[in-house]
């Protein structure tokens, strides 16, 4: 019987915290103070957009995606609805919610010999810079109570920010009303932007008599024009070529599907950093053993924010968001046991899939995009775009399935790597959750769930937390845990459980033997104050106190809820740099002078 030591385990508190925080943040909560619109730029794509180059649409694609589209890359209907968090909201013993240790920046050195790796492998290609900058802002600047309306093809254009703070802080509004009001706010702003673009396009029309551009004097019109050209109205009057180009660009931008809303992710990313502390050590250990780049262990930031309760509408599940058909050859997936939901098991499967993708495509940008789109789909895209450069593929290739998520997946990954590496600068004083010292033990004979709960000293919630792959019928006692899977138990009790399952321990002696090897517990509150024990951040232990003062727990995890730590955003007088974005720019060593990386 194999002993599989593991530090992986997942908290289901993510949605619980987010939902309660959305329902009412502490009085001192600080949301991003948006600067006056100044031509700041960012954009992403919602659907498959007609390519700018010569390519054909392949309507015969039938390949299933290996993983689901991240929720943040989904439709506006989903991200606009705050009730999406509710199905994932589950209670958790509060002592496990608030255990934390200091976050440390990732260490990516010592990877010589890793597959397709060099120090510059994951630097940002210049042609993907706008996309990456956009996602950096989404991950680190805007919260889930905020977002931006942006163009879907020109990824440098953002029209305006949206703030739902007043709606979400209203305690008298039920979630469905908040959802409707959020949607109306976005729809009204979108209609206004389209109207402004139409007026601007009419003034830019080349057939207008000389001097028509002089009518573009309104401050908002000038700001809108600045999104499409660096030339002033007076300069455009003298430059007919640039005027025609800008007119065509603005005219095309008036199409309804060209103006899209993207929800912010700052608070989810902060919680993702917190939860990642439970898994990253185990993930990195396995990826090193497999000689794979360690940066790949950050893909769950994109897929799920390390939320073990993540489930997609199309059937993807777990922090790595595997689809059933992709996962079944590598792990047990059925109605009672779904090992996709165990972070460490899924990490082993992800490592295998990523290796296979790279061996087929010989490029990490393509292999990572294939994690979302499928290797066969990327091979098809390479053929039709006549290029192995991801930026070329995005520009030239169009298909039913290669849409918003696939086109932006690699940029999201690069942005997540950057934001996590610079977490203190971009997110504040983030923390890691403590990992669970657990061991995986293979099930050699069917056992009831009650046995696992007994091994956890009858703590049902903790047993479920460490075994998220075990389904409801087993937990309800209707069927037993089948042979062929595993259970995760406290590492201190591995030998006892192994001897029991192999028949070397009398069942009558089980309880006594378990008592000889206690489960390590968090530092007790009694006699100590929060913050006095290194590595712990604790709040009062009664659930009622937690629920009545969620702000206390949230403040431990979310710097944005604490006094004196506002969300970073530029002030009107801040130096916005040459592109006018008003954001923390990419460091010089995060960009390359070449195109999309390939070995």
* Measured distance CA(405)–CA(258) in Å, rounded: 15
Section 578-598 average pLDDT: 44
122 within 8 A of 295, measured Cβ to Cβ: yes
Q: What is the mean pLDDT of the chain?
A: 78
State the pLDDT confidence band at 392, using cuts at 50, 70 and 90: very high
| 250: pLDDT strictly greater than 60 | yes
Rounded to the nearest 5°, which phi and psi values hold at 236?
-65, -30
Six-digit token string for 339: 């090992």
pLDDT at 215: 75
Mean pLDDT of the 184-190 span = 95
pLDDT at 208 (0 to 100): 76
Per-residue pLDDT reduced to its tens digit, 79-106: 555 544 444 433 444 455 557 888 999 9
Residue that wins the pLDDT comparison between 563 and 558: 558
- State the DSSP code for 562: S
DSSP assignments along 149-164, one per residue: EEESSSTT-EEEEEE-
What does the pLDDT look like over 329-379, one tens digit per residue? 999 999 999 999 999 999 999 999 999 999 999 999 999 999 999 999 999
Note the pLDDT of residue 78.
53
Q: Kindly state the helix (H) or strand (E) to which residue 97 belongs, with its residue range.
A: helix 94-97
Return the residue matching tokens 């046991």.
337
- Residue 326, pLDDT > 60, answer yes
As a whole number, mean pLDDT of residues 103-124 equals 94
Name every residue whose Cβ is closer than 8 Å to that of residue 139 and which is 6 or more positions away in sequence.
265, 266, 269, 301, 415, 416, 419, 426
- pLDDT tens for 270-301 read 999 999 999 999 999 999 999 999 999 999 99
pLDDT, residue 210, reads: 65
Helix (H, G, I), strand (E, B) or coil at 218: coil
Share of residues in the chain with pLDDT > 70 (%): 71
Give all domains of the chain, ordered by start, each with its CATH number.
Answer: 3-144+264-432+568-590 (1.10.530.10)
**How confident is the model over 428-438, as a mean pLDDT?**
90
Confirm if 345 and 337 have CB atoms less than 8 A apart.
no
Q: Are 216 and 225 in contact (CB under 8 A)?
A: yes
Q: Say what the pLDDT of residue 15 is.
A: 41
Does residue 593 carry a pLDDT above 50?
no
Report which of residues 7 and 493 the model is more confident about: 493
pLDDT tier for residue 248 given thresholds of 50, 70 and 90: very high
DSSP state, 259? Answer: E
Decide if pLDDT at 574 tops 70: no
* C-alpha dihedral (574, 577, 583, 585), degrees to nearest 10: -140
- Residue 251, pLDDT > 90, answer yes
- Encode 6-26 in three state secondary structure: ECCCCCCHHHHHHHHHHHCCC
Higher pLDDT, residue 311 or 297: 297
Q: What percent of the chain has pLDDT over 90?
A: 60
Average pLDDT value for residue range 502-518? 93
* pLDDT confidence of residue 7: 44
| 71 Rama class: left (phi>0) / alpha (psi -120 to 50) / beta | alpha
What confidence score (pLDDT) does residue 255 get?
86
Answer yes or no: is pLDDT of 3 > 70: no
What DSSP designation does 483 have? T
Q: Please report the pLDDT score of residue 345 as a whole number.
A: 97
Mean of pLDDT values over 447-459: 96
What pLDDT does 400 receive?
Answer: 85
- Is the pLDDT confidence value at 557 over 50? no
Instruction: Identify the sign of the CA torsion 201, 206, 208, 213.
Output: positive
Separation of alpha carbons 292 and 574, rounded Å: 41
Rounded to whole angstroms, how far apart are CA atoms 88 and 65?
23
Please give the residue that has the higher pLDDT: either 24 or 427.
427
**Residue 162 CA from chain centroid, whole number:** 20
Are 48 and 152 in contact, with CB atoms under 8 Å apart? no
What's the confidence (pLDDT) of residue 581? 37
């Amino acid at each position: 019987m194999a002993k599989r030591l593991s530090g992986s385990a997942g908290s289901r508190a993510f949605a619980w915290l987010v939902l309660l925080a959305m329902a009412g943040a502490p009085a001192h909560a600080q949301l991003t103070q948006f600067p006056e619109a100044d031509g700041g730029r960012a954009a992403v794509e919602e659907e498959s957009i007609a390519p700018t180059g010569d390519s054909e649409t392949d309507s015969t694609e039938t390949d299933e995606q290996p993983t689901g589209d991240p929720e943040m890359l989904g439709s506006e209907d989903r991200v606009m609805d705050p009730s999406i968090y509710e199905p994932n909201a589950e209670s958790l013993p509060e002592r496990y919610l608030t255990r934390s240790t200091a976050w440390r920046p990732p260490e990516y050195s010592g990877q010589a010999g890793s597959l397709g790796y060099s120090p510059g492998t994951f630097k940002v290609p210049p042609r993907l810079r706008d996309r990456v900058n956009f996602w950096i802002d989404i991950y680190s600047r805007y919260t889930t109570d905020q977002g931006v309306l942006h163009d879907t093809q020109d990824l440098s254009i953002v029209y305006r920010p949206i703030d739902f703070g007043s709606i979400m802080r209203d305690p008298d509004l039920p979630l469905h009303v908040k959802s409707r009001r959020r949607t109306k706010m976005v729809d009204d702003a979108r209609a206004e932007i389209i109207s402004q673009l139409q007026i601007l396009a009419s003034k830019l029309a080349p057939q207008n008599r000389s001097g028509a551009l002089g009518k573009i004097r309104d401050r908002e019109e000038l700001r809108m024009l600045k999104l499409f050209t660096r030339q002033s109205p007076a300069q455009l009057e003298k430059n007919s070529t640039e005027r025609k180009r800008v007119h065509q660009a603005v005219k095309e931008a008036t199409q309804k599907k060209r103006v899209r809303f993207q929800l912010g992710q700052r608070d989810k990313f902060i919680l993702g950093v917190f939860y990642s502390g439970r898994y990253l050590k185990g993930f990195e250990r396995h990826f090193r053993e497999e000689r794979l780049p360690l940066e790949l262990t950050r893909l769950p930031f994109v897929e799920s924010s390390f939320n073990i309760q993540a489930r997609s509408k199309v059937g993807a599940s777990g922090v790595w968001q595997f689809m059933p058909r992709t996962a079944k050859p590598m792990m047990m997936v059925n109605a009672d046991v779904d090992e996709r939901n165990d972070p460490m098991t899924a990490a082993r499967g992800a490592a295998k899939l990523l290796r296979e993708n790279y061996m087929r495509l010989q490029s990490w940008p393509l292999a990572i995009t294939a994690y979302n789109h499928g290797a066969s789909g990327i091979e098809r895209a390479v053929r039709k775009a006549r290029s192995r450069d991801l930026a070329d593929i995005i520009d030239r290739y169009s298909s039913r399935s290669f849409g918003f998520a696939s086109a932006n997946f690699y940029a999201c990954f690069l942005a997540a790597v950057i934001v996590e590496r610079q977490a203190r600068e971009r997110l504040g004083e983030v923390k890691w959750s403590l990992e669970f010292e657990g061991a995986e033990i293979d099930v050699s004979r069917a056992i009831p769930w009650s046995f696992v709960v007994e091994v956890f000293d009858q703590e049902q919630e903790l047993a479920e937390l460490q075994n998220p792959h075990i389904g409801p019928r087993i937990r309800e006692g209707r069927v037993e845990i089948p042979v062929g899977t595993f259970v995760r138990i406290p590492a201190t009790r591995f030998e006892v459980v192994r001897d029991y399952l192999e028949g070397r321990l009398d069942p009558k002696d089980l309880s006594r033997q378990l008592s000889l090897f206690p489960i390590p517990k968090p530092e007790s509150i009694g006699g100590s104050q929060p913050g006095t024990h290194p590595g712990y951040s604790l709040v009062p232990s009664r659930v009622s106190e937690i629920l009545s003062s969620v702000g206390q727990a949230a403040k431990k995890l979310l710097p944005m809820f604490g006094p004196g730590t506002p969300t970073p955003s530029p002030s009107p007088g801040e130096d916005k740099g040459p592109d006018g974005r008003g954001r923390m720019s990419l460091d010089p060593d995060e960009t390359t002078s070449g195109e999309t990386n390939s070995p």
